[in-house]
Amino acid sequence: MTSAQQNGARKPSQLRSWAKSVVDIVAIVLVVLAAKTAIAEPFYVPSGSMEPTLLIGDELVANKFAYGYSTASLPSFIVLPNSGRLFGALPKRGDVVVFRWPGNRSQVWVKRVIGLPGDRIAVKDGRVIINGEPVGLKRDGTGEAENENGSETPAARYIETLPGGLQHVIFKLGGYDPLDNVPETLVPPGRLFVMGDNRDNSADSRVPVRAGGVGLLPVDDLVGRVDAILGSWDLGMKDKPIWTWPQGLRLSRFFTAVH
């Protein structure tokens, strides 16, 4: 066989090999996208609105099958108009949820569900009132709220007890805050009332979307339920020498449950 004939025989074989490689890569990408859409997806916490439950620099995993699926369930870099939900289920009061921000659905936020459809929610002197009953609130010492620049601010810790008995810790930074008093709001069907655990540093359902908050969150914007923290790194280390960065790993938070 001449050299030209050998080259001619080799080209179809190379093309088949190249095509198979492309198909394999596409298949892997589709499997990854399917898993991120249907099962779980990691998210990163950039702000302190959910402290002390979630810290700046935490990496979360959102359980996507907990509440069913909508276009919000697609990987976060895919932004499509809102849709209804398949296999839909409402969160439980107290769930920590990831959702598309109604003001810009390319942004993914995390808050805690306080009010469900049909609930009447108000806030008086910083205390949440659900259906006319103030939630349990007990002082639990003092903590440190981390700011986005790495500095810390003293914060009063409280244990909040929601109807049904679920307890979680919240921060109050002290003094009067405009969001300490919110008129009673009826949560309509298909909506949720969500709040951050860092009550004086959270734009949530107490703030309308037009003012940079969440307003009453559409259920269809839910991405999933936060079940665990995969890892955590102190962002305050980013301005320090690179060889000190491993010191910022919060190993005690790796693979811990979120409540």
State the DSSP string of 119-159. Answer: -EEEEETTEEEETTEEPEEEEEEEEEEEPTTS-EEEEEEEE
Q: 85 with 115, same domain?
A: yes
Q: 120 with 31, same domain?
A: no
Active-site residue flag, 76: no
What's the pLDDT score for residue 11? 54
Q: Which residue has the higher pLDDT, 80 or 87?
A: 80
What's the pLDDT score for residue 88? 78
CB 193 within 8 A of CB 187: yes
Least reliable range by pLDDT among 38-47, 133-142, 155-164: 38-47
What's the pLDDT score for residue 81? 83
What's the pLDDT score for residue 249? 86
What's the pLDDT score for residue 26? 37
Q: Which residue has the higher pLDDT, 11 or 189?
A: 189
The two three-digit tokens of residue 258, written as one number: 């979120």
* Cα gap 216→62, rounded to integer Å: 21
- Angle CA 31–46–168, to nearest 5: 95
Catalytic hit among 111, 172, 205, 232: 111
Least reliable range by pLDDT among 120-129, 211-220, 230-239: 230-239
Residues in the chain, total: 259
Q: Which residue has the higher pLDDT, 139 or 149?
A: 139
Beta bridge partners of 123: 128, 182
How sure is the predictor about 42, in pLDDT bands with cuts at 50, 70 and 90? confident
Domain count, the chain: 2
What's the pLDDT score for residue 21? 43
The CATH number of the domain holding residue 110 is 2.10.109.10
How sure is the predictor about 13, in pLDDT bands with cuts at 50, 70 and 90? low
Give the mean model confidence (pLDDT) for residues 16-37: 40
Please tell me the number of Cα atoms within 13 Å of 115 on its side-chain side: 33
Q: 32 with 53, same domain?
A: no
Q: 87 with 100, same domain?
A: yes
Active-site residue flag, 124: no
Give the mean model confidence (pLDDT) for residues 69-89: 82
Q: 5 with 99, same domain?
A: no
pLDDT, one tens digit per residue, over 56-78 is 999 998 888 889 888 888 887 78
Q: 249 with 143, same domain?
A: yes
pLDDT above 80 for 45: yes
Give φ, ψ of 209 to 5 degrees: -60, -40
For 173-214, give the DSSP string. -SS--GGG-EEEEEPPTTEEEEE-SBTTS--STTS-GGGTS-
| Enclosing domain of residue 31 | 1-38
DSSP 64: G
Mean pLDDT for the chain? 84
Q: 205 with 239, same domain?
A: yes
Catalytic hit among 36, 47, 49, 205: 49
Counts of helices then strands in the chain (DSSP H, E): 1, 15
pLDDT above 50 for 27: no
